[in-house]
A and B are shown apart, each in its own frame.
Chain A
C-alpha cells in the first residue's frame, strides 16, 4: 500500500497571502488529521476529518480551515499568513477502528517571509 502523500513538500509565502496544502491518505483510510510542528510549540493538533465531516478541532484560529473530499483526500487552508505560521504541516491518516494508529505523511514545510 502506498503511504500518505502530501503536496507540495516545500512552500514559501509572504505575510498576508493564503496557502492550500493537500494530503492523500492511505487507501481505505477515512480519517485524516492535520498537525502543525514547530520547534517552540512541538506537535499540535489542528483538526480531524472523517467521511467529509470535521470530527475534532484543535485550538487554532479560524484562519486555519480544512475540508475532506469524497475520496478521503483532504486539504487545509491558511489565510492571511503570519510569520508564526512557518512550520512543518503534517497530515496523518488512520483506519476506522476506535483507537487508531496514525500514519503520517512526510509533511509540507511552509516558510512565511
Chain B
C-alpha cells in the first residue's frame, strides 16, 4: 500500500536557526497536506499543495511539492519557540479524504 516517509524524526534547533522536514511518498500523489500538532493537541491544517513543482509561503514557512508529486518539504526560517510541535505531511492519492500521514518530525526549539 501507499507509504509516506518523513525525515528527520526529531530536530532540536536553537531559536533563530532554520528547520526543514522532508516527506517522500512511494506513489504519486494527487495532493499533499501539512499539519502541525502541538504537544497535547490535535493536528491543525497548515497548507495543501496540488500542482507539480508548487511552492507556497506562509510568513516564515515555505512549502514545496516535487515535480513528480512524490515528495515535499517544509522549511521554517528563523525558528521561534512558538514553532514547537510535530509537523506531519499527509498524502492524498485519490479524490476523497483518505490521508496517509508521514511519521512526523518533532521540532524542539531552544530559546
A residues with a Cβ closer than 8 A to B are 31, 33, 35, 42-45, 48, 50, 55-56, 58-59, 90, 92, 94, 98-107
Q: Which residues of B contact A (CB under 8 A)?
A: 1, 30-31, 33, 35, 41-45, 48, 50, 88, 90, 92, 95-104
Taking CB atoms, residues of chain B closer than 8 Å to A107 are 42
Nearest neighbor of A44 in chain B, beta-carbon distance = B101
**What is the CA–CA distance of A90 and B90 in the complex, to the nearest angstrom?**
15
Q: How far does the alpha carbon of A43 sit from the alpha carbon of B41 in the complex, in Å?
A: 13
- Cα separation A31 to B97 with both chains bound (whole Å): 8
Interface of A: prevailing SS: strand
- Determine if A90 and B48 form an interchain contact, defined as CB atoms under 8 angstroms apart: no
A-B contact pairs, 7 of them (CB 8 A): A42-B101, A55-B97, A56-B96, A59-B1, A94-B97, A102-B35, A102-B97
B residues in contact with A98, CB < 8 Å: 95
Contact of A56 with B98 in the complex, beta carbons under 8 Å: yes
The answer to whether B99 and A103 have CB atoms under 8 Å apart is: no
* A42 close to B103 (CB less than 8 A): yes
